[in-house]
Amino acid sequence: MFKPKGGRSYTWARVATPQAAHAMAMQPLAATPHPSFRAALASVGVPTTNKSPEEELVDLLQDAAEIEHGLMLQYLYAAYSAKSQVIKGALRTIAIEEMGHFLSVQNLLIACGAAPYFGRAHWGDPSPFQPYSFKLESLSIGSLAKYAIGEMPDPDQVAQGIKADLPTIMNEADTAAGAPVASHRVGLLYAKIYWLLRDDDQPLADPAKEPWLGFPVGSMAATPDLKGRHVRGDVVADIGDRNALPEHWIGNYTSVIVAPISGRESARKAIARIAAQGEGFANTPQSHFERLVEAWRIAHASPDFALPAATNPHLGHGTGEEIASVLGRRFAGLSDGLYKLVLLCTAANLLLPAGMAAAIRRQPARAAIMAMREGLGAVATVLTTLPLRDGSDTPVCGLPFSPSPAEVEPQLAAIIASARASAMEMHALIESIGQADDSGALAGVAESIGATLDNEIMPLLESLPV
């Protein structure tokens, strides 16, 4: 579950469609750094391996989990540096939606007989699916442009009111990323997953019943490396008694997709919904792209919309800016413990055995949400008030998101034991914060987190049947 994924090597199968050929003839690809979906299919293609379709599906779902995890963390980091409450709210909501995508991918992995996968995506291998290099950075006009283009649908699907700004957004995105943002790479990943999940190569008699509307079934089937490559009919199981369920996770966020998997058709529908909301090619009202463009416009109109947060902050083991201030280091360590606890609680939710009562299944999800809301949220706010180095006002600290709990085995008992050890480490940090904080205000925040750990989060985990 938490173990690094195995080595794999992808090649790309280019999918020629009549529409793509026409578009490329009308406008050379070199002049189009952000191509349409069909041009991306024709010029980049979809990933392929020499593994069986069943093995390839698990590999690609693990890659999808890494990408969703990485997007979630980057959006959260930017949100916590925002001064604009409108931008902060938009980014936090999108990050929560990315967590929904992440959970849906975990459900798919379990339905395919695989373990949940919580690998961290620094996207540094490099991943062939990353739209841009992973970077925890302060909110900026450039980062908002980068995020928007990474989530952009087909250019011809972009709302008319946005098209006039699109060249500027693309230019600012590429400048911020240090290279052209690789539009549609995540969508191409989901397109291949969707293809593997189809029953066969045949278009549906009624194309309107295809969950991914407009999916180029005929062109995919005509591509030799893709022809006939679908998983066996029995591969995707009904895991209703092990799913992460929307009623346990989404609260009042009606836009969050946590998709239960009851078989192959529900799996296809889940992929189509995820792709439509964010990383795909179609556009939907209030898509990630449109909300990020609106945030970009607000930033352009606001002279002071973000705090000067550190870039890729770390505690001595990283390539960004090291957190050196005394209280900054202690709160950053506390944030890492809480982040690890969120992962562990999420894993516990997915690893409960079949047949558990709904009230029990809800417990680890509640614990994860509390660790995020009452824990990480509170610590993130404190970190934006603490300097990276004592004696200097700027930049301020940020959440390092550094744990990678690869040593934890995919068993519920091991998860709970690791959570217990993390709680003890956090209590030591809370005590040290009390000793270092002369004012007492920050110590109060830390003590409140400790009380939540002891009185709410850990009891929910400790009472799970092991």
Query: What residues does each domain of the chain span?
Result: 11-301, 326-462
Nearest to 63 by CA among 132, 127, 133, 131: 127
Supply the pLDDT for residue 304. Answer: 92
Three-state DSSP class for 142? helix
Nearest to 141 by CA among 332, 309, 303: 303
Q: Distance between CA atoms of 104 and 418, rounded to whole angstroms?
A: 24
Q: Distance between CA atoms of 401 and 136, rounded to whole angstroms?
A: 9
H helix intervals, 17-84: 18-26, 37-43, 53-80
Q: Distance between CA atoms of 194 and 230, rounded to whole angstroms?
A: 9
Q: How far is CA 466 from CA 245, 353, 417, in A?
A: 21, 9, 11
H helix intervals, 82-184: 85-111, 141-150, 160-163, 166-177
Say which amino acid occupies 153: P
Which regions in the chain score pLDDT beneath 70? 1-4, 18-33, 121-126, 279-280, 282-283, 404-407
Q: Tell me the two tokens of residue 28.
A: 């050379």
Question: 112-129, pLDDT tens digit by residue?
Answer: 999 999 887 555 556 788
Q: Tell me the two tokens of residue 134.
A: 């992973």
What single DSSP character describes residue 46?
E
Q: How far is CA 97 from CA 71, 250, 277, in A?
A: 10, 9, 9
Supply the pLDDT for residue 26. Answer: 40
Supply the pLDDT for residue 29. Answer: 34
CATH fold label, 326-462: Ferritin (1.20.1260)
**Residue 399 burial by Cβ neighbours in a 10 Å radius (0-12, 13-18, 19+):** buried
What backbone phi and psi angles, to 5 degrees, belong to 12? -125, 130
Q: Tell me the two tokens of residue 203.
A: 């278009």
Cβ(312)–Cβ(202) below 8 Å: no
Supply the pLDDT for residue 119. Answer: 81
Residues 6+ apart with CB under 8 A from 393: 387
Supply the pLDDT for residue 24. Answer: 44
Q: What single string gives the DSSP state of each residue in 334-361?
A: HHHHHHHHHHHHHHHHHHSPTT--HHHH
Question: Omega before 126 cis (within 30°)?
Answer: yes
Supply the pLDDT for residue 31. Answer: 41
Helix (H) or strand (E) holding 288: helix 288-301
Q: Tell me the two tokens of residue 182.
A: 């690789």
CATH fold label, 11-301: Ferritin (1.20.1260)
Q: Distance between CA atoms of 174 and 149, rounded to whole angstroms?
A: 9
Strands (E), 243-286: none
Question: 11-301 with 326-462: one CATH topology?
Answer: yes
Q: Distance between CA atoms of 32 and 72, rounded to whole angstroms?
A: 28
What single DSSP character describes residue 11?
E
What's the N-to-C CA distance of the chain in angstroms?
18
Neighbours of 25 (CB within 10 A): 8
Supply the pLDDT for residue 373. Answer: 93
pTM of the model: 0.94
Supply the pLDDT for residue 405. Answer: 54
Three-state DSSP class for 59? helix
